[in-house]
Structure 1
Amino acid sequence: MKKWSKSIIAVLAIVFVLCNVYLLLKENSKAERTINVRDWTRVEKDNVKKLFYTKGVTEPESETHVYFDKHKGSLDKILVKEGETVTAGTPLFVYDAQKLEDKKAILEDRKERLQSEMSSVENEITELQQIKQQAPADTAKTETENKKVKVDVNIDTSPIIDSNVQQKIAAAQTEKSKLEATLTENDAKLSRIGEQLQDLNVVSPVDGQVTNINPELQDPMITIASASSAVKGNLPATRVHEVQEGQAVKLYSPLLDQYYTGEVSQVIAIPDYKTAKKEPMYSFLVKLGNESDNSAIEDTPTDEATGITSEAEENTTETSGNTDAAKSTDKQPKVNLNNEASTVTEKEKPLLLGTKMDMQVTLAEALQVPVIASQSIEKENKKYYVYQMKKNGMVRKQPIQIGVSYKKKNQVIDGILTKDTIVTNEQNVKVSDPSPFITPSKSENLNKKDIKALPSIQKAKYILIGLFE
């Protein structure tokens, strides 16, 4: 009897084990499984910055062109040289005044003639008006030859004289009006020539440096580069839509061993095929700040764990790998990246045009936000998930929404909160429904006082959970 009972117990034990193994290995099994979580972490607040590294060179922030006006006359003398520094108001060149002086003399002679003619017309009008006022009534007396009858006939001729005088006065006034209009036009021309004579000295409208003088008088005759500098950076096609105006930029000059700050002022979406063999290279301008910066360019994170990147980052990485130019500009410059302040001399060295720069552009940033590592995130059908460990002892697949992602650091916008507990490596957990989880005890973290303080029922509960689960 004892022998049979032992055999039955053994068979039942084997069947129980086999059934459990079957349920565990069966696909889509409804049997509840306990997940052994060895690595987990809490969601903490941190900063995430998406950075872009490239090279650049300093150039004038703007250029001002000065043109030659042939209507003002010929060139007399150029007063500056290429490379000369000028300020606003500095004379650049002088026109020859002879042609204008000749025009002025002709106009002045014409003015005298017109004034003389006008004076004659005015005198004529005055005389005619006097005749009209003083002329008496003329009377013609006629006698008949008849000796018997003698008759005196008086004929008044004043209306005829008044009419003739009035016509002459009207004609003279018309002539005067024409002369006045011609004289006004002549004075306007004289005034313009006077202004041109005063403007024969062409001065610089801005502060800067003369970079080009065209001796053949072709426009622009003189080019002046502004005193303020900008930095023109290389921009691969994969980054054109990411770099935007207003983004913060840190710069480093290896020549001067000096750091600077600035911001993107313009994105030039016109390709320069000469700078790249395979793909066109674009560019952008950075306006430098008023003061240099002592803080070094931020170090690139060196997290070697395999993880995910955002969709945009994946596309950028794939595309940038196809061009040598993109590879070179995406790499971090080899400069002091230990976040230590660089040494600045008491008298800061001037930043010369043509100085090469290492550049770091902040494409996007999120400060003091929930951040998780890429290895904790599972990507499925363009959606993101983490395995969240609940306080009730269950682990579940939690959908999340991520924001700024860079170098395996990801901003969490929605789905989990700061201090939530998640599985560190999503590859160690494969569940579709919420499942219970256990974690290995870490004896080094146990405190004897805390254990003694637990109630007996609580101690028994934890012991049973450890034995059976």
Structure 2
Amino acid sequence: MKKLIRYSIVTVSLVFVGVNTYLIEKADSRVDREVRINHWELSRQETLRDMLYKPGVVIPEEDQYLYFNDESATFKKFLVKEGEQIKSGTPLYEYEVSDQLQQRDVLKSEVEKLEEDASNVEDSISELSKLVSSLPSPSSDEKDAPIEAGALQSEYDIKREMVSKQLEADQLESQIKSLEKQIAAIDSYETTLTVESSVSGTVKSLSHEIQNPLVTIASDSTVVTTDLTEQEVDEVDENLNVRVKHDGKKSLDGVITKVDRLPKADPHLKTESLYPAEVQVQEAQWRPGQHVSLSIIMEEAKDAVTVPVSAIEKVDDQAYLWMMTKNGTVKKRKIETGLEVDGRQAITAGVKAGEMYVEEPDEIASLKDQERFITALDWRRLKIRDFKTLDRADVYTNLMLGILERK
């Protein structure tokens, strides 16, 4: 019995080798008319981002400067110290009024100007609110339909501007209240008046020489600043999105709000000019002086169909991709390309996600359009559950066709 099994195995092996040798060596063999493709892949969908990496440092978003007019008043004393944390409404300093009528007129004039500014800011907020209401939004029947990225970005920019305007309005209102308190004190025949802060923050400096600005306050809100080179400043624009990371923690979303067109220092022939840029970061709770890393998104292709750059063949200005069809042939297909990042190329037209393509066409010398191909068996792609769904007769039929089929 063992000899019978041994002889059967030897006989089947010899038949297998003989048949394949015949198919290979015979004239017009199918093997001669097929190419072997070792490297092939499926086109996939992903988001490509062209990033500019820069270091950054956290600074106060703005400094508020308070000035002292000594024409009708005399400075008395500071009520805060440098480095002290203060809130809106905190008394900052006292001064003595020498001419109450003149000082009242000065304060009244300042109030009128601030009220005009506040009215203009409120008008801007109202106009921005109307813009948000006019943006397209999905109806109840289309609630699952995606909103275009452009609409989302526009809404985000408008709402961000509304928040900025509201903060400005609150600050103006606080300044008006402080001035009205001083006017009320003058009307009560008081000669010693108190100036209050209109913002929350940190007392940055006090001028003990009584020179303007008398008080400088760094705001609690912060921004991130970085320096751009002469080449980068021409490429980086306001409203570009930024990923900001501090000390290896989770990245926060930010946006470039300001790009200076003047260098931070006097230009010099022997040194490169640097241009400051500011990034506003959402939900950031950082201290001024902390260092962060910035990833500026210069260009982005969301959910793009991508392939390796090495898979693309270019003839003159036209790009092509060798596609593998279901009937066992390769087809040279025209494509349109988009963003390229780190060796990956976005395909804007000509290919859908999940289609098979030749990954390295340069390695196949005889690759021709509509030519048949063969590939090595990829055991990683074989799933036992797939075999269970096949009919046994079909398995045997296809196995024999793979061994004996000839054309």
TM-score (norm 1): 0.52
The corresponding residue for 1:223 is: 216
State the distance in 1 between where 2:375 and 2:271 align. Answer: 54
State the distance in 2 between where 1:427 and 1:195 align. Answer: 92
What one-letter code is carried by the residue in structure 2 that aligns with 1:223? T
User: Secondary structure of 2:282's partner?
Assistant: strand
Q: How big is each residue's C-alpha offset from its partner over 1:169-192, in whole Å with a ceiling of 9 and x where there is no partner?
A: xxxxxxxxxxxxxxxxxxxxx999
Change in 2 beyond 3 A, CA 1:103/1:398:
closer
The corresponding residue for 1:453 is: 394
Bigger shift: 359-368 or 418-427?
Answer: 359-368
The corresponding residue for 1:401 is: 336
The corresponding residue for 2:264 is: 272
What one-letter code is carried by the residue in structure 2 that aligns with 1:52? L
The corresponding residue for 1:416 is: 351
Structure 2: unaligned runs, 5 residues or longer: 1-27, 104-182
Residue-pair matches, total: 289
The corresponding residue for 1:84 is: 84
How many angstroms does 1:268 deviate by? 1.6
- Give the one of 192, 203, 223 matched to 2:196: 203
CA contact (8 A) 1:33 1:435 kept: no
How many angstroms does 1:196 deviate by? 10
Structure 1: unaligned runs, 5 residues or longer: 1-19, 21-31, 105-189, 293-350
Correspondence 1:56 to 2:56: yes
Change in 2 beyond 3 A, CA 1:402/1:443:
closer
The corresponding residue for 1:263 is: 254
CA contact (8 A) 2:242 2:256 kept: no
Q: How big is each residue's C-alpha offset from its partner over 1:104-128, in whole Å with a ceiling of 9 and x where there is no partner?
A: 9xxxxxxxxxxxxxxxxxxxxxxxx
Q: How big is each residue's C-alpha offset from its partner over 1:215-260, in whole Å with a ceiling of 9 and x where there is no partner?
A: 344432221111122211233344432454251423123xxx6445
- Give the one of 195, 199, 205 matched to 1:212: 205
CA contact (8 A) 2:39 2:358 kept: yes
State the distance in 1 between where 2:189 and 2:277 align. Answer: 41
What one-letter code is carried by the residue in structure 1 that aligns with 2:46? D
How many angstroms does 1:102 deviate by? 9.2
Q: How big is each residue's C-alpha offset from its partner over 1:349-407, in whole Å with a ceiling of 9 and x where there is no partner?
A: xx332111122333344444322122212345454332222334443332322334321
CA contact (8 A) 1:35 1:435 kept: no
What one-letter code is carried by the residue in structure 2 that aligns with 1:403? G
CA contact (8 A) 1:275 1:281 kept: no
How many angstroms does 1:208 deviate by? 0.5
State the distance in 1 between where 2:256 and 2:192 align. Answer: 36
State the distance in 1 between where 2:202 and 2:359 align. Answer: 59
Change in 2 beyond 3 A, CA 1:353/1:366:
same
State the distance in 1 between where 2:35 and 2:306 align. Answer: 24
- Give the one of 388, 404, 408 matched to 2:323: 388
State the distance in 1 between where 2:378 and 2:344 align. Answer: 31
User: Secondary structure of 1:70's partner?
Assistant: coil
Correspondence 1:375 to 2:310: yes
Q: How big is each residue's C-alpha offset from its partner over 1:93-146, in whole Å with a ceiling of 9 and x where there is no partner?
A: 22222x215979xxxxxxxxxxxxxxxxxxxxxxxxxxxxxxxxxxxxxxxxxx
**How well do the aligned residues superpose, as a CA RMSD in angstroms?**
4.1
Change in 2 beyond 3 A, CA 1:451/1:229:
same
CA contact (8 A) 2:88 2:199 kept: yes
The corresponding residue for 2:279 is: 286
State the distance in 2 between where 1:352 and 1:249 align. Answer: 18
What one-letter code is carried by the residue in structure 2 that aligns with 1:93? Y
Q: How big is each residue's C-alpha offset from its partner over 1:242-282, in whole Å with a ceiling of 9 and x where there is no partner?
A: 454251423123xxx64451312423233335899753333
Correspondence 1:245 to 2:244: no
TM-score (norm 2): 0.59
Q: How big is each residue's C-alpha offset from its partner over 1:381-440, in whole Å with a ceiling of 9 and x where there is no partner?
A: 454332222334443332322334321223322110112111101322578972413223
What one-letter code is carried by the residue in structure 2 that aligns with 1:249? R
Q: How big is each residue's C-alpha offset from its partner over 1:300-347, in whole Å with a ceiling of 9 and x where there is no partner?
A: xxxxxxxxxxxxxxxxxxxxxxxxxxxxxxxxxxxxxxxxxxxxxxxx
Correspondence 1:354 to 2:348: no
Alignment of 1:126-165 (within 5 A): none
State the distance in 1 between where 2:320 and 2:188 align. Answer: 76
What one-letter code is carried by the residue in structure 2 that aligns with 1:235? L
Change in 2 beyond 3 A, CA 1:95/1:376:
same
Q: How big is each residue's C-alpha offset from its partner over 1:23-48, in whole Å with a ceiling of 9 and x where there is no partner?
A: xxxxxxxxx98544321111122333
User: Secondary structure of 1:427's partner?
Assistant: helix
The corresponding residue for 2:360 is: 425
State the distance in 2 between where 1:243 and 1:430 align. Answer: 46
Change in 2 beyond 3 A, CA 1:397/1:282:
farther
State the distance in 2 between where 1:419 and 1:234 align. Answer: 42
What one-letter code is carried by the residue in structure 1 that aligns with 2:205? N
CA contact (8 A) 2:241 2:255 kept: yes
CA contact (8 A) 2:34 2:371 kept: yes
Structure index of larger Rg: 1
Change in 2 beyond 3 A, CA 1:239/1:370:
same
The corresponding residue for 2:168 is: none
Change in 2 beyond 3 A, CA 1:441/1:75:
closer
The corresponding residue for 2:93 is: 93
The corresponding residue for 1:124 is: none
Alignment of 1:148-187 (within 5 A): none
State the distance in 2 between where 1:248 and 1:443 align. Answer: 41
Change in 2 beyond 3 A, CA 1:50/1:383:
same
State the distance in 2 between where 1:262 and 1:229 align. Answer: 14
State the distance in 1 between where 2:316 and 2:95 align. Answer: 74
CA contact (8 A) 2:87 2:199 kept: yes
State the distance in 2 between where 1:53 and 1:196 align. Answer: 61
The corresponding residue for 2:114 is: none
The corresponding residue for 1:71 is: 71
User: Secondary structure of 2:198's partner?
Assistant: coil
